[in-house]
Amino acid sequence: MAAPAARLAGVPVVWHVHGLTSLPLLEAAAARLAQRVVLVSHGMREYWQLPPWLVPPHRVIHNGLQMPSIDHNSINGTPACPPQIVAVGVLHPRKGYETLLHAMQQVARVLPQVQCKIVGGEWGDGSYARDLHDLSRRLGVDNNVSFLGYQKDVESILHESTVMVIPSQQETFGMVALEAMTASKPVVANRTGGLAEIVAHGKTGFLVPPDRPDLMAAALITTLQHPTLAQQFGAQGRQRALTEFSAQRMAGSFAALYREVLR
């Protein structure tokens, strides 16, 4: 409703798209009323299921994060023992937790003491969460995987971890990857959407194809078995977050956009 009203009033519209709905034609129509459309990643384009001629003109401004002045990992930097993997996100099918559980079966064979903490509340009626618990038991990893549910203090859990894993099937941006990088943690993520723009493969962690638990397991095992590499990934990830994904950089990009629109 805001866009048509703004058009009638002669007020320019900037539409900042964070996620996609199940109504792409409606999105396209709404976008046509905007002077500028901003996407949070280039990867969002792959989810916009529209013919090229219907996709509105757009530009990408990555989300930014206010960086902590202190690198907590440098203070509390003793490696987790046993090694700890953490995944953060609501228990939703598109988060790909089945892939993670199958990967954990392979990781646990090599590193029997490994622990994986899954942090996130249940989605819908909770049936998907129950399915994940059942799958964990069937795969024999229920002693290696903990479902912690919703947690207020995710930061402490993250700082106690060795590596962040993001098995999402779709992710328009992937703020949790950025949060892990600011905490100097290596990230293993699916190469999808915005994640492929945040994680630098082989420099701040590893990117693997979706639905490949074998490759996800291999990336996790490599990271866990080589603490020097993990530390290097973490340091480079924090530096990348500071330089490429700061809140100040994001604000500057929007300020320039607004000046352009108001000319």
Give me the domain span that covers residue 219.
72-244
- Same domain for 33 and 88? no
* Best CA proximity match to 156, nearest among 84, 205, 246, 220: 84
- Same domain for 213 and 137? yes
The residue type of 106 is Q
Q: Helix, strand or coil for residue 91?
A: strand
- Same domain for 58 and 136? no
- Same domain for 57 and 10? yes
Domain count within the chain: 2
Distance CA 164, CA 189 (A): 8
**pLDDT tens digits, 167-194:** 999 898 999 999 999 999 999 999 999 9
- Same domain for 12 and 85? no
What is the signed CA dihedral for 210, 216, 219, 223, rounded to 10 degrees? 120
- Same domain for 28 and 129? no
Reported as a pLDDT band with limits 50, 70 and 90, residue 75 is: very low
- Same domain for 17 and 142? no
Distance CA 40, CA 61 (A): 5
CB contact set of 127 (below 8 Å; sequence gap of 6+): none
What is residue 193's DSSP assignment? T
- Same domain for 56 and 172? no
- Same domain for 221 and 93? yes
* Best CA proximity match to 173, nearest among 256, 56, 60: 60
- Same domain for 98 and 200? yes
What is the signed CA dihedral for 198, 200, 204, 207, rounded to 10 degrees? 90
**pLDDT tens digits, 6-60:** 777 778 888 888 876 655 666 767 777 788 888 899 888 777 666 666 666 788 9
Q: What is the CATH number of the domain that holds 181?
A: 3.40.50.2000
**Which of 7-16, 56-65, 82-91, 100-109 is predicted with the least confidence, judged by mean pLDDT?**
7-16
- Same domain for 258 and 153? no
- Same domain for 258 and 237? no
Within 13 A of 184's CA, how many CA atoms are on the CB side?
A: 20
Distance CA 208, CA 192 (A): 9
Q: What is the pLDDT of residue 25?
A: 67
Strands 36-39, 59-60: pairing kind: parallel
Residue 70: pLDDT over 60: no
Mean pLDDT of 130-134: 98
